[in-house]
Amino acid sequence: MRSDVNRRDLIKRAAAVGLLAAPAAGLLSACASSGSGNDKGTDKGEKSKENPFGVANDAPLDVVIFKGGYGDAYAIEFEKIYKKKFSGSKVSHLGTQEITGKLQPRFNAGNPPDVVDDSGAQQIKLDVLYKSGQLTDLTPLLDAPYIDDPSKKIRDVLQPGTIETGSFDDGKMYQLSYIYTVWGLWYSGKLFKEKGWTAPKTWADFMSLCEEIKKSGIAPFTHQGKYPYYINIVVMDLIAKHGGPDLVKRIDDMDATVWDDPAAKAAVEAVYQIADKGYLLPGTNGMTHIESQTAWNEGKAAFIPCGSWLENEQLKATPSDFEMTFLPIPSLDGDKLPFEAIRAGAGEPFIVPKKAKNQAGGLEFLRIMLTKEASSKFAQTANSLTVLKDGVGSDVQLRPGTASTVTALTAAGTNVFNYNYINTQSAFDTDVQNASAELMAKRIKPADWLKRVKAAAEKAKKGS
Amino acid sequence: MRYRKYPFIAGFLVIPVVLYVVFVIWPYLQTFGYSLTDWSGQSQEMHFVGLENYTKLFGDHVFLQALQHNVLLLVFLPVITILLALFFAFMLNVGGRGGTTGVRGVRGSAFYKVVFFFPQVLSVAILVVLFQAVYRSDGSGLLNGILIKLHLQDPSAPVEWLNSPNLVMWCLLGVQIWAGVGFYLVLFSAAMQSVPKDIYEAALLDGAGRLQTFFKVTLPLLWDSVQTAWVYLAIAAMDFFVLASVLTPGSSFGGGPDYHGEVMATYLMRNFLTFGKSGYACAMGVVILFLTLILSAIALRVSRRDRIEY
C-alpha cells in the first residue's frame, strides 16, 4: 500500500495549490500593473493642411476593435484607407471581445494601442479611464478640417449630441461615439398588418392594444430580463418624455430630488402595469437578450424594447418578411415632449489613449472614419448609421428596421434626448437595473423602486 | 562529503523558488499594498488611504450578503458532494451482493463509473451552456418543460430558476454538485480499492449489512481522502466565480436577482473592473484569502483522526 500514501500526499499538495489559486481572481490582475512608461509622441511628422496632426508617414498604427454585433470588417476597410494615405505605415489590427483582458495590462504598463473601440460587455469603463488620465483630449480632432469638404470643421458635420456624449465633467470630448443609435420599442410590421393592429401613440392605447394582443394568444411584451438594461429603456424614456429634457439633465447629475418628481412616479407606475396586468411573455424576466429577441422574432411576443443594433444582431433569426419596425415609447397624459421624441445618441466609443505611441495617427484614423466613404462602408457592413450627418450615400440600400429608424429620426427632429449616466455612473446604473428587474418580477412596488433609486442617486452623489 | 550536498540541492531550488516568489508571493504582497489605496485599476495614480477599504467592507451590505452566500455554499457543498460521492463509490466497489466471488460492486459498475465521471471531463464553459438550457426560464427550459408536461406548473408562469431570490443559490449549488460528484467518486473509489478485500470479507462473514460495512469499515479507512475532499470543496465553495457570474442575471458578472446570486468573487470583479474601485476590490481579495486560509486550517484540524494502518 505504499503507492496509496503517495497518491494521498499528491492530492493534498494539489489542494494546497488550489488554496492559493482560489481567490486569485482579483489578485492576478494586480501584478499586471507594475512598471509605468510615459514615453509618448515618439513618432512625429510634419503638420500640414492635409495632415493636421502631423502623422509620420512610417509610424506604425495599432488598432484594437471590439468585435461584437457590428463585427470588425468595417475597421479593416478603414485601415485600408489609412494605409493608402500613409504608405509607409504598418497597421496592426486586433478584433476581440475581451477588451479589458487584452488592454488593461497594456494601459497599466503605459503602452496602450493608438485607437481603441472600447465597447461590449468587457469594455474598460470610460469614466474609469478618464479619471485615471488615460484618454487623449479630442478637441484638436473637432477643430480639424472635414476631409470631404475642408472648408468645414469636423465638429460641424457631427449629429447633435455626439460631442456631449463624448464629453466628461471638464467639458472636453475624450471619446468619439461613432454609431448613431435610437432606442425604443420594436414590432413586426407583418404581424401587425395580419392582425389589423395599429401601433399605439399613447400609453392608454398601448395598454388596450396589449389587452387585445393577449386575447389573441400572443404575449404582448417581452424584455431581455437577464440584463435589466433593456427594460430601463422604457422606464427612463417615459420619465424623459413626461418630465422633459430638464429632468434628463438632473438625472445625469445625480440630483436625488428628481425621484420625488411626479414624472418619475407616473413613468414607473406605467411600466409596472405591463407586469401587473400579465402582459409579459412567460419567463421573460429570466431570459437573455438572444432568447427573448429570438422569441420575439418567432412571433411569441409583440413588442420588445431595444436599441437600433437589434436588426443587425438578429439578422439570422429574423424571417425575411418580418418587417422589423421601430416605435417611439408611447406618450403618457401630459407629456412635455411629443410622441415622436426619441432617445437617440452616439454610441460605440472610440478612444485614443493618452500614452499612445502614435497619437497623431490615432486622431487621423478617427478623422478618416468621419468621411462619406467610411461611413457608407459602415452602413453596408454593419446595418447601422454613423454620427456623420448625411453620412450614407444615396446608393446604399437600408434594411427595413434601419430605414424605420431614419423615418423616426426625421419625425423627431430636434426632440431627441439621451442619458449619459450609463457611461459616467456605473454603480448607480447597476442599482437602477437591479431595482427594475425586481419591479418587473413584481417583487417590489413602484414606490419601492423610487425609494431605492433615490437612495442610489444619493450614494452616487456622495461617492463621486 | 556531507557539506557538499547543500549547495547541490540549493542549486536545484533557486529557479523554482524565484519563480514562485515572483509570480505568486509578490502579487499577493502587491494586492495587499493596493488594498490600502484608492487605486482605480487603470493607471499608476493612487493615494494611500490606510485601512479605509477594510472598514468600508464590513459595512457594505452587498459584500456581507455575498459572504453569507459563500458560507451557505460552504455548509452544503462539501457535505452533499462527499455523501453522494461516498455512497456511489461504496455501491460501485463493495455494494454488490449475491455473487460467489465475494466483495464487488453493483452490476455494471464500470459503466456507471464512466457516466459519473463524465461531467468532470466537460469544461466549465460547456457546463454553463448546458445548465443555461436546463434552467431556462420559459417553457423551452429542460426543468420547466418537464414540469409543464407533467402539469405541475402552469405554462403561463414557468419557474424563473435563476431569477428567483429563493432558488438561485440552490441552482448554482446543484450545478457544482452535479459536476463535482464524479471526481470525488473516483477519488474515493481508488481509496476503497486499496483497502484489503479480506477486511470486507471478514465483515461479511460476521454478518454485517451494507450500512454497517459502510460506517464501521469503509468510512474510517477512507478518512484521509474525505478530509482532503473536504478542504478542497471548502475552497471551491469560497470561490464560485464562474458559475455565479455567467448564470445569474445582471450585466457585469451577474450577481442577481438583486444580489441574491452574489458571491464574494463576483462582487470583487464588479468593483475591480466595472466600478473602477480596484483598491477596494483588492481589500476584498485579501479578506477572501484570509477567510479561505482560516477555513482550510480549521477543516484540517477538526477532522484530524488517528490514521488506521492496514
| pLDDT at B3 exceeding the cut of 70 | no
Q: Are the C-beta atoms of B169 and B243 separated by less than 8 Å?
A: no
Return the CATH number at A92.
3.40.190.10
| pLDDT at B133 exceeding the cut of 70 | yes
* Tally of domains in chain B: 1
In a domain, residue B205? The reply is yes
Residues 6 or more apart from A227 whose CB is under 8 A from it?
Answer: A288, A289, A433, B249, B250, B251
B1 min Cα distance to partner chain A (Å): 30
pLDDT value for A126: 87
pLDDT, one tens digit per residue, over B135-190 is: 999 888 999 999 999 988 888 889 999 999 999 999 999 999 999 998 999 899 88
Nearest residue of B to residue A99, measured between CA atoms: B273
| Chain-centre distance for alpha carbon B94 | 27
A200 in the same domain as A66:
no
A224 in the same domain as A322:
yes
Residue A89 main-chain phi, psi, to 5 deg: -85, 155
A199 in the same domain as A166:
no
**Grid cell in block for residue A70:** 457590428
DSSP assignment string, B214-250: IIIIIHHHTHHHHHHHHHHHHHHHHH-HHHHHHHSSS
In a domain, residue B4? The reply is no
Which segments of B86-172 are extended strands (E)? none
A315 in the same domain as A221:
yes
> Average pLDDT of B60-89?
93
Mean pLDDT of chain B: 87
Q: Residue A433: its chain B contacts at CB < 8 A?
A: 250-251
Question: What span, in angstroms and rounded, lies between the C-alpha atoms of A98 and A122?
Answer: 6
pLDDT, one tens digit per residue, over B251-298 is: 889 998 999 999 999 999 999 888 888 999 999 999 999 998 998 888
Residue type, A211: E
pLDDT, one tens digit per residue, over B182-221 is: 899 989 988 888 888 888 888 888 888 778 888 888 888 8
Domain that residue B184 falls in: 50-302
For β-strands A301-307 and A176-188, DSSP reports them as antiparallel
A201 in the same domain as A82:
no
**Grid cell in block for residue B87:** 455512497
A237 in the same domain as A88:
no
A310 in the same domain as A233:
yes
Q: Residue A104: its chain B contacts at CB < 8 A?
A: 41-42, 273
A451 in the same domain as A312:
yes
Can you say whether residue A51 is alpha, beta or left, with left for phi > 0 and alpha for psi between -120 and 50 degrees? beta
Give the long-range contacts of residues B218-222, CB within 8 A, separation 24 or more: B218/B86, B218/B90, B218/B94, B218/B192, B219/B86, B220/B305, B220/B308, B221/B191, B221/B192, B221/B195, B221/B308, B221/B310, B222/B86, B222/B188, B222/B191, B222/B192, B222/B195
Q: Do A108 and B42 touch (CB under 8 A)?
A: yes
In a domain, residue A27? The reply is no
Given CB atoms, is A101 within the 8 Å cutoff of chain B? no
| pLDDT at A352 exceeding the cut of 60 | yes
Of the partner residues A15, A286, A427, the one whose CB lies closest to the CB of residue B249:
A286
Given CB atoms, is A34 within the 8 Å cutoff of chain B? yes
**Grid cell in block for residue B217:** 469499515
| pLDDT at A76 exceeding the cut of 70 | yes
pLDDT value for A4: 41
With a pLDDT cut of 70, the percent of chain B lying above it is 94
| Chains A, B: CB pairs < 8 Å | 205
Domain that residue A232 falls in: 182-344+418-463
Band (B101; pLDDT cuts 50, 70, 90): low
A104 in the same domain as A162:
yes
User: Can you tell me the ipTM of this complex?
Assistant: 0.84
Nearest residue of A to residue B266, measured between CA atoms: A25
Return the CATH number at B200.
1.10.3720.10
In a domain, residue A10? The reply is no
In a domain, residue B36? The reply is no
In a domain, residue B20? The reply is no
Distances in Å between the Cα of B280 and the Cα atoms of A428, B16, B55 are 17, 32, 10
The interface residues of chain A toward chain B in range 249-308, judged by CB-CB distance below 8 A, are 278, 281-288, 291, 295
pLDDT value for A444: 95
0.90 surpassed by pTM? no
pLDDT, one tens digit per residue, over A190-209 is: 999 999 999 999 999 999 99
A188 in the same domain as A123:
no
Question: What span, in angstroms and rounded, lies between the C-alpha atoms of A284 and A306?
Answer: 14
In a domain, residue A18? The reply is no
A205 in the same domain as A103:
no
| pLDDT at A2 exceeding the cut of 80 | no
DSSP category for residue B3: G
> Average pLDDT of A220-242?
95
B133 versus A17: the higher-pLDDT residue is: B133
Q: Give the SS3 label for residue A101.
A: helix
* Tally of domains in chain A: 2
In a domain, residue A132? The reply is yes
In a domain, residue A207? The reply is yes
A419 versus B218: the higher-pLDDT residue is: A419
A450 in the same domain as A369:
no
